[in-house]
Amino acid sequence: MKATPESLSLRMASQDDTRGAATVPYLAPATFAQIYADNADFVWRNARRLGVPASSAEDVLQEVFIVVQRRRADFDGRAPMRSWIFGILVHVVRRHRRTFLRKEARCVSLDQEAAREIPDEASGSSPHEQAQRAERVRLLEMLLGQLDEDKRTLLVLSELEEWTLREIAEHLGSNTNTVHSRLRAAKRAFENVHRRWLAGRGEVP
């Protein structure tokens, strides 16, 4: 079932939440719907970038927004809403990965997954251009999938979501110098992965 604000609210209501549910204030559906509308694509694309296969991305999307709904009262506004949601996403992805490992399942390689629908801004491009873009997305996801979680997260935030060093540091509870050093290492690791991919195709890096 495709995730929608309505389906998530219904699923939320059906769960037996014993963690102080009676003290959580009611969140108006319009408010939750706006949060979902503003951030659903952000969550989906970054779930994929963090290694979730396309076949499971909708499940992760639903779980993230169930947590957002449940913990909405905890959001104090000191950090951007999107940063708060990204933190939830990282935890959900980790739990998702552990579930796969417990079941001795293996995620399908990201380069074998179908890329999500091309964003609206590319809708005016030709079929050939859209195919090229989809192929670049698949390659990027495949290369990111070969990095460890920390490096992948840093590259997603810095290079793809274009967060500043300060924003990343605040999100990670670190300082900008440390983030800068870790980001340089992540970029080197990505470049090495890319070079190996080129070499495997017989291309000179």
Q: Quote the pLDDT of residue 186.
A: 94
First to last CA, the chain: 43
Distance of alpha carbon 84 from alpha carbon 79, whole angstroms: 7
Q: Are 138 and 113 in contact (CB under 8 A)?
A: yes
Distance of alpha carbon 104 from alpha carbon 37, whole angstroms: 35
> Whats the size of the chain, residue-wise?
205
Q: Which two tokens stand for residue 80?
A: 């951007």
Q: Considering the entire predicted model, what is its pTM?
A: 0.69
pLDDT digits (tens), the chain, 205 positions: 455 455 555 444 444 443 333 333 444 444 888 999 999 999 999 999 898 888 889 999 999 999 999 998 888 888 889 999 999 999 999 888 776 544 544 443 333 343 444 444 445 667 878 788 788 888 888 888 899 989 999 999 999 899 999 999 998 889 999 999 999 999 999 999 999 998 888 876 5
Annotate 54-95 with DSSP letters as a single string.
HHHHHHHHHHHHHHHHHHGGG--SSS-HHHHHHHHHHHHHHH
3-state secondary structure at position 203: coil
Of 204, 108, 188, 129, the closest CA to residue 154 belongs to 188
Q: Quote the pLDDT of residue 176.
A: 95
Distance of CA 101 to the CA centre of its chain: 19
